[in-house]
Amino acid sequence: MTPAYDAIILGAGIVGAACAMELAQAGMRVAIVEPGVIGGGATGAGMGHIVVMDDSPAQLALTHHSQQLWDALAPKLPAAVEYETTGTIWVATHSREMEEVARKQALYTAHGIPVRTLDTAALLREEPNLRPGLAGGLLVPSDAVLYPPSAADYLLQHALQSGATIIPHAATHAAEGKVRLDSGGTIAALRIINALGASAASITPGLPVHPRKGHLVITDRAPGFARRQLVELGYVRSAGSGTTDCVAFNVQPRKTGQVLIGSSRQYNAISNSIDYDILQRMLQQARAYIPALDHLSVIRTWTGFRAATPDKLPLIGPHHADPTLYLATGHEGLGITTALATGRLLRAILTGTNPFIPIEPYLPARSFTPQPENAHA
Amino acid sequence: MCNAHTHNYDVLILGGGPAGIAAASAAAAPHTSVAIVDENPTLGGQIWRNSFAADVSDPAAHWYQRIQHSPITRLHDLRVFHAPSPGTLQAEAGNGLHTLHYKKLILATGARERFLPFPGWTLPNIMGAGALQNMVKSGLPITGKRIVIAGSGPLLIVVAAYLKKHHARVICICEQAPLRQLLPFAKGVITNTEKLSQALQYRLQLLTVPYRAGWWPAIARGQSQLETITVTDGARRYIIPCDYLACGFHLVPNIELPSLLGCSQSNGFVKVDTTQQTSIPGIYAAGEITGIGGLEKSILEGTIAGYSATGQSTAAQQLSAARSKSLRFASAMQRAFALRPELRRLPAPSTLVCRCEDVPHSHLVSHSSWRSAKLHTRCGMGSCQGRVCGTATEFLYGWPSESVRPPILPVRLQTLAQAEDPASQELSTAI
Ligand SMILES: Cc1cc2nc3c(=O)[nH]c(=O)nc-3n(C[C@H](O)[C@H](O)[C@H](O)COP(=O)(O)OP(=O)(O)OC[C@H]3O[C@@H](n4cnc5c(N)ncnc54)[C@H](O)[C@@H]3O)c2cc1C
Ligand SMILES: Cc1cc2nc3c(=O)[nH]c(=O)nc-3n(C[C@H](O)[C@H](O)[C@H](O)COP(=O)(O)OP(=O)(O)OC[C@H]3O[C@@H](n4cnc5c(N)ncnc54)[C@H](O)[C@@H]3O)c2cc1C
Q: Does A225 fall in a domain? A: yes
Note whether B427 contacts A93, CB cutoff 8 Å.
Answer: yes
**Helical residues (DSSP H) of A91-204, grouped into ranges:** 95-110, 120-126, 148-161, 200-203
Q: Does A73 fall in a domain? A: no
Predicted confidence (pLDDT) per residue in A329-369, tens digit: 999 999 999 999 999 999 999 999 999 999 999 999 998 87
Sign of the Cα torsion B377, B382, B385, B386 reads: negative
Please give the number of the atom of ligand 2 that sits closest to the Cα of B131. Answer: 1
**Distance from the CA of B288 to the center of ligand 2, in angstroms?**
8
**Distance from the CA of B174 to the center of ligand 2, in angstroms?**
23
Give B-chain residues touching A273 at CB under 8 angstroms.
405
Of B84, B410, B412, the CB nearest to A294: B412
**Distance from the CA of B72 to the center of ligand 2, in angstroms?**
20
**Distance from the CA of B125 to the center of ligand 1, in angstroms?**
44
Classify strands A186-194 and A178-181 as parallel, antiparallel or unpaired: antiparallel
Angle between helices A57-73 and A335-351 (to 10 degrees): 90
Same domain as A125, residue A38: no
For chain A, the 3-state helix, strand and coil shares in percent, each to the nearest 5, are 35, 25, 40
Same domain as A261, residue A271: yes
Same domain as B237, residue B265: no
C-alpha B381/C-alpha B372 separation (Å) is: 12
Please give the number of the atom of ligand 1 that sits closest to the Cα of A335. Answer: 19
**Distance from the CA of A40 to the center of ligand 1, in angstroms?**
8
Same domain as A302, residue A155: no
Among B317, B335, B353, give the residue marking a domain's end. B335
pLDDT at B191: 60
Q: Which residues share a beta bridge with A8?
A: A31, A192
C-alpha A189/C-alpha A31 separation (Å) is: 9
Classify strands B359-360 and A246-253 as parallel, antiparallel or unpaired: unpaired
Give A-chain residues touching B357 at CB under 8 angstroms.
256
Domain that holds residue A182: 5-48+148-209+311-362
The answer to whether A114 touches B340, Cβ cutoff 8 Å, is no
Same domain as B100, residue B10: yes
The answer to whether B400 touches B391, Cβ cutoff 8 Å, is no
Q: Does B127 fall in a domain? A: yes
The answer to whether B247 touches B129, Cβ cutoff 8 Å, is yes
Same domain as B165, residue B210: yes
Q: 3-state secondary structure string, A55-84?
A: CCHHHHHHHHHHHHHHHHHHHHCCHHHCCE
Instruction: DSSP letter for B280, please.
Output: S
Of B385, B410, B413, the CB nearest to A283: B413
Same domain as B261, residue B374: no
Same domain as B345, residue B319: no
Note whether A237 contacts B372, CB cutoff 8 Å.
Answer: no
C-alpha B217/C-alpha B343 separation (Å) is: 9
Supply φ then ψ for residue B403, to 5 degrees: -65, 155
Q: Does B402 fall in a domain? A: no
Same domain as A256, residue A111: yes
Note whether B416 contacts A296, CB cutoff 8 Å.
Answer: no
* Order of strands, sheet of B211-213, starting from the edge strand that comes earlier in the sequence: B126-127, B244-249, B146-152, B169-175, B211-213
Of A44, A220, A247, the CB nearest to B410: A220
Total domains present in chain B:
3
The answer to whether A163 touches A121, Cβ cutoff 8 Å, is no
Give A-chain residues touching B429 at CB under 8 angstroms.
93, 97, 232-234, 236-237
pLDDT at A102: 97
Write b or e for each residue in A6-40: b if 16 or more Cβ atoms lie within 10 A of its Cβ, otherwise e: bbbbbbbbbbbbbbbbbbbbbebbbbbbbebbbbb
Among A269, A285, A307, give the residue marking a domain's end. A307
Predicted confidence (pLDDT) per residue in B356-412, tens digit: 999 999 999 999 999 999 999 999 998 888 988 999 999 999 998 777 888 999 999
The answer to whether A259 touches B397, Cβ cutoff 8 Å, is no
Same domain as A155, residue A35: yes
Looking at the CA of B137, which ligand is closest? 2
When computed from its CA atoms, the radius of gyration of chain B, rounded to whole angstroms, is 22
Same domain as A240, residue A321: no
Among chain A residues, CA nearest to B413: A294
Same domain as A166, residue A288: no
Tell the residue nearest (CA) to atom 2 of ligand 1: A46
C-alpha A261/C-alpha A255 separation (Å) is: 14
CATH number assigned to the domain comprising residue A300: 3.30.9.10
C-alpha A374/C-alpha A363 separation (Å) is: 22
Torsion angle, alpha carbons of B207, B210, B213, B218, to 10: -150
Give B-chain residues touching A279 at CB under 8 angstroms.
416
Give A-chain residues touching B425 at CB under 8 angstroms.
284, 287-288
Q: Does A231 fall in a domain? A: yes
Best mutation site among B46, B112, B385 for ligand 2, i.e. most ligand atoms within 8 A of its Cβ?
B46
Chain B residues near any Cβ of chain A (below 8 Å) = 84, 357, 369, 371-372, 375-378, 381-383, 385, 405-407, 410-414, 416-419, 422-423, 425-431
Angle between helices B193-206 and B155-165 (to 10 degrees): 50
Q: Is A171 left (phi over 0), alpha (psi -120 to 50) or beta?
A: beta
Same domain as B69, residue B140: no
Q: Is there an atom of ligand 2 within 6 Å of B22 CB?
A: no
Q: How many Cα atoms sit within 13 Å of B144 on the Cβ side?
A: 0
pLDDT at B405: 85
DSSP string across B107-153: E---EEE-----TTTTSTTEE-HHHHHHHHHTT---TT-EEEEEEES
Classify strands A315-318 and A325-329 as parallel, antiparallel or unpaired: antiparallel
Give B-chain residues touching A293 at CB under 8 angstroms.
413-414
CATH number assigned to the domain comprising residue B318: 3.50.50.60
Predicted confidence (pLDDT) per residue in A278-299, tens digit: 999 999 999 999 999 999 999 9
pLDDT at B62: 85
Among B229, B249, B269, give the residue marking a domain's end. B249
Q: Does A57 fall in a domain? A: no
CA distance B50 to chain A (A): 28
Same domain as B243, residue B123: yes
Of A93, A284, A299, the CB nearest to B417: A284
Q: Is there an atom of ligand 2 within 6 Å of B18 CB?
A: yes
Q: Does A53 fall in a domain? A: no
**Distance from the CA of A343 to the center of ligand 1, in angstroms?**
15
Q: Does B122 fall in a domain? A: yes
**Distance from the CA of B192 to the center of ligand 2, in angstroms?**
23
Same domain as B366, residue B349: yes
Same domain as B202, residue B107: no
Domain that holds residue B59: 5-112+252-335
pLDDT at A124: 97
Give B-chain residues touching A285 at CB under 8 angstroms.
427-428
Q: Does B305 fall in a domain? A: yes
Note whether B431 contacts A299, CB cutoff 8 Å.
Answer: no
Same domain as B245, residue B137: yes
CATH number assigned to the domain comprising residue A186: 3.50.50.60
The answer to whether A170 touches A182, Cβ cutoff 8 Å, is yes
Tell the residue nearest (CA) to atom 30 of ligand 2: B110
Same domain as B150, residue B219: yes
Nearest to residue B211, comparing CAs of B234, B235, B187, B183?
B183
Same domain as A225, residue A137: yes
Q: What pTM did the predictor assign? A: 0.91
Q: Does A240 fall in a domain? A: yes
**Distance from the CA of A41 to the center of ligand 1, in angstroms?**
5
Same domain as A275, residue A224: yes
Total domains present in chain A:
2
Note whether B427 contacts A288, CB cutoff 8 Å.
Answer: yes
Q: Does B421 fall in a domain? A: no
Give B-chain residues touching A230 at CB under 8 angstroms.
none
Of B377, B378, B428, the CB nearest to A285: B428
Q: Is there an atom of ligand 2 within 6 Å of B80 CB?
A: yes
Note whether A288 contacts B383, CB cutoff 8 Å.
Answer: no
C-alpha B122/C-alpha B138 separation (Å) is: 22
Q: Does A289 fall in a domain? A: yes
Q: How many residues does chain B have?
A: 431
CB contact set of B187 (below 8 Å; sequence gap of 6+): none
The answer to whether A274 touches B82, Cβ cutoff 8 Å, is no
* Residue B57 CA: distances (Å) to CA of A123, A224, B49, B52, B62: 64, 52, 15, 11, 9
E runs forming strands in B209-287: 211-213, 216-221, 228-232, 237-241, 244-249, 251-253, 265-266, 269-270, 283-285
Among chain A residues, CA nearest to B412: A297
Same domain as A200, residue A253: no
When computed from its CA atoms, the radius of gyration of chain A, rounded to whole angstroms, is 20
Sign of the Cα torsion A162, A163, A169, A175 reads: negative
Tell the residue nearest (CA) to atom 10 of ligand 1: A334
Q: Does A323 fall in a domain? A: yes
| ipTM value | 0.90
Note whether B416 contacts A302, CB cutoff 8 Å.
Answer: no
Tell the residue nearest (CA) to atom 19 of ligand 1: A335
pLDDT at B203: 64
> Which residue ranges of chain B lie beneath pLDDT 50?
1-3, 196, 420-431
Note whether A288 contacts B412, CB cutoff 8 Å.
Answer: no
Among chain A residues, CA nearest to B426: A288
Q: How many residues does chain A have?
A: 377
Same domain as B122, residue B233: yes
CA distance B303 to chain A (A): 34
C-alpha A351/C-alpha A348 separation (Å) is: 5
Q: Does B80 fall in a domain? A: yes
Q: Is there an atom of ligand 1 within 6 Å of A197 CB?
A: yes
Tell the residue nearest (CA) to atom 38 of ligand 2: B109
Is residue B412 within a helix (H) or strand (E), and if so which, with residue range? strand B411-412
Supply φ then ψ for residue B138, to 5 degrees: -90, 10
Tell the residue nearest (CA) to atom 48 of ligand 1: A41
Note whether B412 contacts A221, CB cutoff 8 Å.
Answer: no
Angle value at C-alpha A253, between A292 and A91, nearest 5 degrees: 70
Same domain as A298, residue A239: yes
Nearest to residue A100, comparing CAs of A239, A223, A209, A212?
A239
Same domain as A171, residue A25: yes
Q: Does B157 fall in a domain? A: yes
Angle value at C-alpha B294, between B288 and B297, nearest 5 degrees: 75
pLDDT at B199: 62
> Which residue ranges of chain A lie beneath pLDDT 70?
1, 235-243, 370-377
C-alpha A289/C-alpha A232 separation (Å) is: 9
C-alpha B292/C-alpha B286 separation (Å) is: 11
